[in-house]
A = this chain, B = another copy of it.
Amino acid sequence: MELNLIEGLGLVAACLTTVSFVPQCWRIWKTRKVDDISLSMYLIFFTGVIFWLIYGLLIESLAVTLANLVTAVLVAIILGLKLKYRSK
């Protein structure tokens, strides 16, 4: 298989895993309910995405850097909403 096709597959994968957080953001924004969402999950995931971001910068991969930058923003919004709306 051509390298360009493989890299295209990687880009589709990156777009999907990044875009997937939009409906979760939207759902919380609309319902203001976050009880069933795990804070630990988003804390660990956010830390991981920051590591991916640094990794992307170090290997000078625009795709890895950009995808994780957008994911970091979306996950930070979810984390912020979780902290704002969680039951005290």
| Residues in chain A within 8 A of chain B (CB atoms) | 1, 6, 9-10, 12-24, 26-28, 31, 33-38, 40-42, 44-45, 47-49, 51-52, 54-55, 58-59
Contacts and interface: CB of A to CB of B under 8 A. Distances in A.
Contacts of A34: 36
B36 A27 contact: yes
A22 B48 CA distance: 14
Main secondary structure on A side of the interface with B: helix
A13 B45 contact: no
Contact of A20 (B9, B23, B33, B45): B45
A21 B75 CA distance: 14
Given A16-B51, A45-B20, A52-B13, A1 B58 contact: yes
